[in-house]
A = this chain, B = another copy of it.
Amino acid sequence: MAHIARLAGVSAPTVSKVINGHTGVALDTRQRIEDIIREHGYQRADSGPVSVPIVEILFQALDSLWALEIIRGVEQAIRDRGLAVALTEMQGRQTPGRAWTEQLLTRRPLGVIAVSADLTTRQHAQLRARGIPLVALDPTGEPAHAIPSVGATNWNGGLLAARHLLDLGHRRIAMINGPDSYLCCRARFDGYRAALETAGVDVDPSLVATAPLYVDGGIAAARRLLDRPDRPTAIFTGNDLQALGVYEAARQLGLRIPEDLSVVGFDDLPFVRWSTPALTTVRQPLAEMGAAAATTLLRVTAGEALEHDRVELPTNLVVRHSTAPPPTDTR
C-alpha cells in the first residue's frame, strides 16, 4: 500500500480509502490510484472481501408507508457518510430464504438492518463470518442471538391509548391487534390491559381480536365486534391501517365516528391526519427508529461498544377527532 501511495503521490490512508471503497477522495485521484492498482496487481482481497458502501434493509414486505418512513430515517442518517440504502423484501415471510444470504454475500453491504425479521442461526453465523454486522428493528420474536435492536415504547403506547379512552368514559373498549408472533403487538396489548386493570375494568376476552396488520384485517375483525348487540363503544387497533378498516366497517354498519364509536390507531402514518374524521393515534417515530438503527449499525462497524442491546424510542398519543365520550345510553 505504501508503494502504491508513493507511485500515486498520495498518502497511504488515501490509498486505503480507495481500496476499501470509502469516499472523500477526489475522482481523478481515485482513478489514478485505481490505474496503478490495476497495473501493479495489488490484491484487494488480501484482508477479506471489500464491503460496498451500502446499508441493506431487510423487510418482510414493502407495502406500507410504515416501511417508507423507516427507509427515510435510515437514508437520512447515512447520507452524509456517503452511504446508500439497499432494500430486500421477503414477500411476507418472517425469515429470509437461503437465496437471500447468498445474494447478500455477493452484495457485501457494510451492514444489515433487519425489520420485523428473524434470521436463522446459520444465517447469523454466515453474516458474522463475513464481518457483516446486523441490527434488528422491531424484531418479530425474541432474537435467538444477542444482536442490538431498536424499537418504540409499545407497552407505553398501548397504555396511553386505553387510558385516553377510559378518561373519556369508555368501559367497553375492544382491541384489534396484530398477530401474537410480533413482540411489539404483544407489548401494545399488555399496555392496554394494564390501563384497563388499573382502572378497575376487567378485560373482556370476547372484545380482543387479532388480525393481519392491514385495512382488510381491520374490516373483518371490526365487523365481528360491531355486529353484536353489546358492541364496544371504542376500538384500539394494532396499527393505523387496521383503524382505517374499522372506519370502513363502521360506515358499512351506519355507525358514526366518534359519536357512536371511538377509534384509536397506532403508528401515525402521514395520511391519517387527513382521514375523515382525523384519526387519534399513538405515534411511533418510525423515521427516528430507522435513523437510530443506522447509527447503531455504524457504531458496531466502527468497533464501538454499545451501552445497551435494546433501545426504545418514545411513543406519544396524538388526539384528533376520532375519539369522544361514549353514546349516552351506554354509559
Q: Which of A's residues lie within 8 Å of B, judged by CB?
A: 21-23, 27, 30, 34, 37-38, 41, 43-46, 49, 52-54, 56, 62-65, 67-68, 71-72, 75, 79, 82-89, 99, 102-103, 105-108, 215, 244, 247-248, 251, 270-271, 274-276
Number of copies: 2
Min C-beta distance of A58 to chain B, whole Å: 10
* Residue contact B215 to A54, C-beta cutoff 8 Å: no
**Which chain B positions have C-beta within 8 A of A41?**
41, 43
* Residue contact A106 to B244, C-beta cutoff 8 Å: no
Given B21, B38, B63, B65, which contacts A72 in the complex, CB threshold below 8 Å? B63
12 contacts between A and B (CB under 8 A): A34-B45, A41-B41, A52-B107, A53-B107, A54-B54, A65-B68, A71-B87, A75-B87, A83-B103, A84-B86, A84-B103, A274-B275
Report the Cα distance A223→B296, complex, angstroms.
Answer: 45
Report the Cα distance A106→B33, complex, angstroms.
Answer: 13
* Residue contact A72 to B62, C-beta cutoff 8 Å: yes
Report the Cα distance A22→B106, complex, angstroms.
Answer: 8
* Residue contact B75 to A68, C-beta cutoff 8 Å: no
Most buried by B among A87, A215, A247, A274: A274
**Which chain B positions have C-beta within 8 A of A46?**
38
Given B27, B68, B88, which contacts A102 in the complex, CB threshold below 8 Å? B27
Given B21, B45, B62, which contacts A68 in the complex, CB threshold below 8 Å? B62
**Which chain B positions have C-beta within 8 A of A64?**
68
Given B82, B83, B88, B271, which contacts A84 in the complex, CB threshold below 8 Å? B88
Report the Cα distance A271→B269, complex, angstroms.
Answer: 11
**Which chain B positions have C-beta within 8 A of A85?**
86-88
Given B53, B54, B106, B275, which contacts A82 in the complex, CB threshold below 8 Å? B106
The 6 closest A-B pairs by CB, nearest first: A276-B276, A86-B86, A244-B274, A68-B68, A38-B45, A85-B87
Known: A84-B103, A84-B107, A87-B87. 7 other contacts (CB 8 A): A37-B45, A38-B45, A41-B41, A52-B107, A56-B84, A64-B68, A75-B88
Min C-beta distance of A266 to chain B, whole Å: 16
